[in-house]
Amino acid sequence: MIENDLLVKVSDAGLYKNGKWLVKGVNLNITKGKIVTLIGPNGSGKTTTAKIALGLYKNIEGTVKRLTNKISYVPQKVSIDWTLPVRVIDFMVLTQDLQDQEINDALNLTGVEHLKNNNLRELSGGEFQRVLLARAIAKKPDLLVLDEPVQGVDFTGEVELYALIKKISETLQCGILLISHDLHVVMSATDYVVCLNGHVCCSGTPVAVAQNKEYKELFGEKSSQLLSLYEHEHDHVHDSDGNIVKEGK
């Protein structure tokens, strides 16, 4: 890893709140052009870890070093009260100034250009997620933090949006911190996986993590095989029992 490519370095970070550790001992690096994915069961500290990386908590253990200010964030939940009338186009320029062209391009990329003048509350869950993603990529950030960015999006849309996220990381050369439940789709598009369960269970490339014992305990044997389905075209095959047989690279 070239030091210049480093965007965020989280060292031995943890958050102790209301008498318990939400997450503890997290180490991770986010670098330009790479996608780091956080996986883990509910309550395992994925969102907390993302917020630690963003610097949203003041009293954390360990250190977080952020080397960029061009950050975009897609939170897990954004709720807009009825009293607040916000159109998609108002939302796009929430934290940034954008040209009309940039707004159109970003909305176009996530496939919701036609909703530009709609009120946010008129959108379906999936449409709203697409708008959130469009807003986040519109200003071409260095670092993109996506907390379950495709929740509520239909299956074809999901595959499409993950492909888009992958494309964004390549074309913009931005670092992405992704939180997701969709193991099968995510793993195929990720460079580095951190598996959380209150602490870091294991981390590494998708293939390495999938074969980790703790990962298998957490997600079950099935998920490990599920993942290998996506990888087997590249570097390994299965025997008749479905076990993975390595074929030296």
Partner 1 sequence: MTIFDDFVFRALIAGIGIALVTGPLGCFVVWRRLSFFGDTLAHSALLGVILSISFDINISLSIFAVSSLVALILLRLQNTTNLAGDALLGLLSHSSLAIGLVVLGFLSFIRFDIMGVLFGDILSVNVNDLIIIWAGGAIILFVLWLIWKPLFASTVNYELAEAEGMNPKRVNAIFTILLAALIAISIKMVGLLLITGMLIIPCAMARNLSNNPKQMVVFSIIGGLLSVFVGLYASFEINTSSGPTIVTVAIILFILSLSRIRKKY
Residues lying near partner 1 in the complex (CB under 8 A) are found at: 51, 54-56, 69, 71-73, 75, 78, 80-87, 90-91, 94-96, 119, 121-122, 145
> Shortest gap between Cβ of 10 and partner 1 (angstroms)?
15
Q: 104-136: string of b/e by CB count within 10 Å (b at 16+)?
A: bebbebbbbeebbeebbeebeebbbbbbbbbbb
Structure token pair of residue 191: 């460079």
> Shortest gap between Cβ of 84 and partner 1 (angstroms)?
5
C-beta closer to partner 1: residue 117 or 243? 117
> Shortest gap between Cβ of 223 and partner 1 (angstroms)?
30
C-beta closer to partner 1: residue 83 or 243? 83
C-beta closer to partner 1: residue 91 or 215? 91
> Shortest gap between Cβ of 205 and partner 1 (angstroms)?
27
DSSP, collapsed to helix, strand or coil, labels residue 48 as: helix
C-beta closer to partner 1: residue 42 or 69? 69
> Shortest gap between Cβ of 52 and partner 1 (angstroms)?
11
C-beta closer to partner 1: residue 9 or 51? 51
Cα–Cα distance for residue pair 9/177, rounded to 1 Å: 12
Instruction: Classify the phi-psi angles of 188: left when phi > 0, otherwise alpha if psi is within -120 to 50, otherwise beta.
Output: alpha
> Shortest gap between Cβ of 23 and partner 1 (angstroms)?
17
C-beta closer to partner 1: residue 178 or 183? 178
To 5 degrees, how large is the angle CA 187–CA 191–CA 5?
Answer: 155
Instruction: Classify the phi-psi angles of 198: left when phi > 0, otherwise alpha if psi is within -120 to 50, otherwise beta.
Output: left
Give how far the C-alpha of residue 94 lies from the chain's centroid of Cα atoms, to the nearest Å.
Answer: 21
To 5 degrees, how large is the angle CA 43–CA 62–CA 73?
Answer: 55
